Amino acid sequence: MLRRLFITGTDTNIGKTVATRALMQAINRLGKSVVGYKPIATEYHDTLNGKRNRDAMILHDSSSVDVSYQDINPVMLESNYGQTTTDVQFPALSQGLEKLSHLADQVVVEGNGGWRYLLNNETFLSDWVKKEKLPVILVVGIQSGCVNHALLTAEAIKNDDLEIIGWIANRINPGLSHYAQVMDRLLTHLPAPLLGEIPYLLRPEERELSHYLNEEQIEMLWGEALAAS
């Protein structure tokens, strides 16, 4: 059964967290418990409850099981630049993933930046995803140049011997005049089913987003995973 998956994007600031929230809401609508996991955060602010990352807080709010913020975001770094290889230990990330896997039917892991997100001068976050053999959902921020970024990202994921089980289109440029043409090219060339299209929205992190995803595709995806288990 599909229990864990990884959300990556074509770049930073293209709506991975919004797409992750939509997917978590859609999974919950299928009657499955779901929890988000943001293993590493590099930007955070002070709150009454301590340091918090905005994306991780959205995942915490979107989870259907009761877990602590620290369960969702175990590692906080000042910056990913200039870190040493000892700053991020993969076993700690894996332990956090394993713990959440016992608490919910589905763990949705949100990555940082794009696929080749550097944790330090030697290590990519994708190295950990490969180690865990997580299936991948690609979020494409629909804007000029995104077809190239999406296809290169898909190729890199394939070269890491991982499977893209679907992709989500997130419209981040409301003024893009050739949206339909961009979507046609992505539908033709990306080697995975389109799971949904999220339009440009104000404050999407506060909204119910599951209806922007294709419920039939998601049911089919989870059904195929169940049959293969």
The answer to whether 108 and 195 are in contact (CB under 8 A) is no
17 is in an annotated binding site: yes
Residue 201 labeled ligand binder:
yes
- Bridge partners of 196, per DSSP, are 168, 213
Q: Tell me if residue 131 is catalytic.
A: no
Is 119 annotated among the ligand-binding residues?
no
121 assigned binding-site residue: no
Q: Is residue 71 a known part of a binding site? A: no
Q: Does residue 153 have a known ligand-binding role?
A: no
Check the annotation: does 18 bind a ligand: yes
| Cβ atoms within 10 Å, residue 154 | 22
Write b or e for each residue in 196-209: b if 16 or more Cβ atoms lie within 10 A of its Cβ, otherwise e. Answer: bbbeebeebbebeb
DSSP lists the bridge partners of residue 45 as: 52
Pair 62, 21: CB distance under 8 Å:
yes
Q: Which of 32, 38, 99, 130 is catalytic?
A: 38
Mark the binding-site residues for substrate, compressed into ranges: 42
Residue list for the binding site: 13-18, 42, 55, 110-113, 170-171, 199-201
Known binding-site residues for ATP equal 13-18, 55, 110-113, 170-171, 199-201
Residues belonging to the active site: 38
